[in-house]
Structure 1
Amino acid sequence: MRSAWVMKLKPGQEAEYKRKHDEIWPEMVALLKSQGVHNYSIYRHGLLLFAYLEKPDGAPEQTEAVNEVVQRWQAWMQPHMETHADSRPVVEPVELMFRLD
């Protein structure tokens, strides 16, 4: 399964967002891997973030609403990006238009 989406940074927060991802928590990495994620990349163009991940079909779904690690991560990242009131990032899915294997 492949997923892609876009998010937005707040102006002036590019460096701090990058720094925090350079220091990603081991428990966040463990959670992603436990869900089968094996390729997860986030790219930046200005304030626009483009995220892409791959995981096997049938892998466990993200349980953001109940996972404490995800909730702490989202609260930690909230000052740097556009979010909902509960700290979840504003995410807009993108449609696959072309793929070459």
Structure 2
Amino acid sequence: MLKKGFKMKIYPDKQKEYEKRHGQLWPEMRQMLKEHGAISYSIFIDPETDYLFGYLEIEDENKWTGTAETEINQKWWNYMKDIMETNLDNSPVTIDLKQVFEL
């Protein structure tokens, strides 16, 4: 199992909408994440800065990178682009974090 930590940022005043959309995550999206090796996936928000912290446990890095090419993920990125910082392909601007401690 591999662990990944990363940060993203939502636009000001979009916290409730971000939570709402994730509370209604499409079943096809959930299934795709599992099929691509997601064991555990959590997202936390810092309400003072609008930064998101993602924590992900995956089976295999190569399997995981395939998520970006799926039709459902492309649809999700398009759906989320109006409430968070994104790249030109609508993928979220994501900054990988380095793990420095584990108990």
Task: Work out whether the TM-score is over 0.5.
Answer: yes
Superposed CA offset, 1:59-89 (max 9, x none): 7123244211000000101111000122110
2:59 matches 1:56: yes
Q: Say whether residues 1:33 and 2:55 are aligned partners.
A: no
The structure with the largest strand share of the pair is 2
Alignment root-mean-square deviation, CA: 1.4
Give yes or no for the alignment of 1:45 onto 2:46: yes
**Aligned equivalents of 2:45, 2:55: Cα separation in 1:** 12
TM-score, L = length of structure 1: 0.92
Q: AA paired with 2:17? A: E
Does residue 87 (structure 1) correspond to residue 90 (structure 2)? The answer is: yes
2:8 maps to: 7
* C-alpha displacement of 1:36: 1.8
Structure 1, gaps ≥5 residues long: none
* Distance in 2 (alpha carbons) for counterparts of 1:86 and 1:57: 24
Percent identity at matched positions? 35
Which of the pair is proportionally richer in helix?
2
Q: How many residues align?
A: 100
**SS of alignment partner, residue 75 of structure 2:** helix
Query: How far 1:58 moved relative to its partner?
Result: 6.3
State the partner residue of 2:76.
73
Residue 6 to residue 90, structure 1, CA distance change in 2 (3 Å): same
Q: Give structure 2 stretches of 5+ with no counterpart.
A: none
